[in-house]
């Protein structure tokens, strides 16, 4: 098999968990690091848009053709090493996974090996390479908690670089990698990077504890499911099983037979407001979580639900002549927008805009979509 194989006229609907999106000019499937770097480099040299894709679980692509190259990372390797200079007790183990490794495969592997730190992130779709870009998180944990460093192809410097966790400037669903999408590139004549940012992740390394027990449980719902207090620990295997059960109950574990999982997971980030704005805009009873920067984070799901947009809701514009929705809020969780089986990207976009408008009208708060938008401007 060649390191990279080209395929004719694939569509992004075939490559994403939303199952919507138009045809792409070229798909390259890379099964080595050199093949991936070569494909990206060739696209950049030709001035062709380039999308590096893993699991396709955080992308909403428009129905229009994508006139560029989609580079799909097929690599899936996990290795271990001991952290240098570690102490004699609970020595951290460095676990490195190639960017194309499915995220949950890494989590499952770590739990099976008796390592802790990733268990609360079980069941999240997508690849290891995408996880630090978004600083994915769930149930009180996020990638920034355990990431040590990553290797990436720097499209500007045209070389492989190692970026330490401190250099990634992690925030809530944010990193330097993601911010680069908003920065003009001198290498591209001042055009914005995108749809992949300046750095294409090649592999990521995490520091995990060899204890067999979880990191402290930070999320009340998970603590209740485990029968422990917030801040307590539990066997990592138990935490993983509980998280998978909770995610499945909300349609957040991929299942081809369940249209509630034909989505990009949580579609909107939780709004983070200045204290004055929170006091002015948030109604009594709305969740309020203080952040490390003195701001107030609230729940997008609560705002949607209390704006009169319940589970399964859809505007008339995305329904057929019989009133059956082509796209709707999940029937299990209002934060997920779902393809009910025959949706177009335009249907999903219309649903998202209707939700944004509904929350703005009710609370004066503008929700921000979390997935990467390709061919769509919010």
Summarize pLDDT for 252-265 with one digit per residue, the tens. 888 899 999 999 99
Residue 347: its pLDDT value, please?
Answer: 98
Q: Among residues 173, 240, 247, 340, which one is catalytic?
A: 173
Residue 222: its pLDDT value, please?
Answer: 96
Query: Could you give the CA distance from residue 91 to residue 209 in angstroms, rounded to a whole number?
Result: 7
Query: Could you give the CA distance from residue 9 to residue 72 in angstroms, rounded to a whole number?
Result: 14
Active site residue 182: no
Question: What is the fold of 259-374?
Answer: 3.90.78
Query: Could you give the CA distance from residue 57 to residue 136 in angstroms, rounded to a whole number?
Result: 12
Residue 88: its pLDDT value, please?
Answer: 43
For the chain, which ranges sit under pLDDT 70? 1-8, 83-91, 185-190
Q: How far apart are the first and last CA of the chain?
A: 41
Active site residue 185: no
Question: If we measure between CA atoms, which residue out of 125, 76, 116, 71 comes closest to residue 93?
Answer: 116
Residue 273, Cβ neighbours under 10 Å: how many? Answer: 18
Residue 273: its pLDDT value, please?
Answer: 96
Instruction: Confirm whether pTM is higher than 0.85.
Output: yes
Query: Could you give the CA distance from residue 266 to residue 87 in angstroms, rounded to a whole number?
Result: 39
Question: What is the fold of 78-247?
Answer: 3.30.465
Sorted by where each begins, the domain ranges of the chain are 4-73, 78-247, 259-374
Distances (CA, A) of 221 to 11, 98, 225, 229: 38, 32, 6, 10
Question: If we measure between CA atoms, which residue out of 53, 42, 47 comes closest to residue 67?
Answer: 47
Residue 108, Cβ neighbours under 10 Å: how many? Answer: 17
Residue 353: its pLDDT value, please?
Answer: 98
Question: What is the fold of 4-73?
Answer: 3.30.43
**What is the SS3 assignment for 44-88?**
HHHCCCEEEECCCCCEEECCCCEEEEEEEECCCCEEEEECCCCCC
Residue 9: its pLDDT value, please?
Answer: 73
Count of helix runs (H) and strand runs (E) in the chain: 9, 19
Q: Among residues 122, 127, 266, 344, which one is catalytic?
A: 266
Active site residue 344: no
Q: Among residues 29, 142, 349, 370, which one is catalytic?
A: 370
């Amino acid at each position: 098999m060649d390191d990279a194989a080209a395929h004719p006229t694939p569509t992004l609907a075939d490559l994403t968990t939303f199952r919507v999106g138009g045809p792409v000019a070229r798909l390259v499937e890379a099964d080595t690091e050199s093949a991936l770097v070569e494909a990206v480099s060739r696209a950049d040299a030709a001035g062709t848009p380039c999308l590096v894709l893993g699991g396709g679980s955080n992308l909403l692509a428009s129905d229009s053709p994508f006139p560029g190259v989609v580079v799909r990372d097929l690599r899936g390797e996990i290795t271990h090493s001991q952290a240098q200079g570690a102490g004699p007790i609970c020595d951290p183990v460095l676990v490195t996974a190639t960017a194309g490794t499915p995220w949950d495969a890494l989590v499952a592997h770590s739990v099976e090996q008796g390592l802790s730190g990733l268990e609360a992130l079980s069941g999240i779709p997508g690849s290891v390479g995408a996880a630090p870009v978004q600083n994915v998180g769930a149930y009180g944990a996020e990638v920034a908690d355990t990431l040590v460093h990553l290797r990436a192809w720097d499209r500007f410097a045209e070389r492989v670089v190692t970026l330490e966790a401190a250099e990634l400037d992690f925030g809530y669903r944010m990193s330097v990698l993601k911010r680069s999408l908003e920065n003009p590139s001198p290498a591209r004549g001042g055009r914005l990077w995108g749809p992949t940012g300046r750095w294409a992740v090649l592999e990521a390394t995490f520091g995990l504890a060899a204890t067999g027990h979880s990191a402290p449980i930070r999320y009340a719902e998970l603590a209740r499911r485990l029968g422990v207090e917030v801040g307590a620990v539990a066997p990592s295997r138990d935490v993983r099983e509980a998280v998978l059960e909770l995610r499945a109950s909300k349609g957040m574990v991929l299942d081809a037979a369940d249209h509630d999982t034909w989505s990009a997971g949580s579609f909107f980030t939780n709004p983070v407001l200045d204290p004055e704005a929170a006091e002015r805009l948030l109604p009594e009873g709305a969740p309020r979580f203080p952040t490390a920067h003195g701001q107030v984070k609230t729940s997008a799901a609560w705002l949607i639900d209390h704006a009169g947009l319940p589970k399964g809701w859809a505007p008339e514009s995305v329904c057929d002549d019989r009133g059956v929705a082509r796209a709707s809020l999940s029937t299990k969780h209002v934060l997920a927008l779902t393809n009910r089986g025959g949706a177009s990207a335009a249907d999903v976009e219309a649903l998202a805009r209707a939700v944004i408008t509904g929350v703005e009208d009710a609370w004066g708060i503008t929700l921000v979509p979390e997935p990467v938008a390709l061919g769509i401007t919010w």
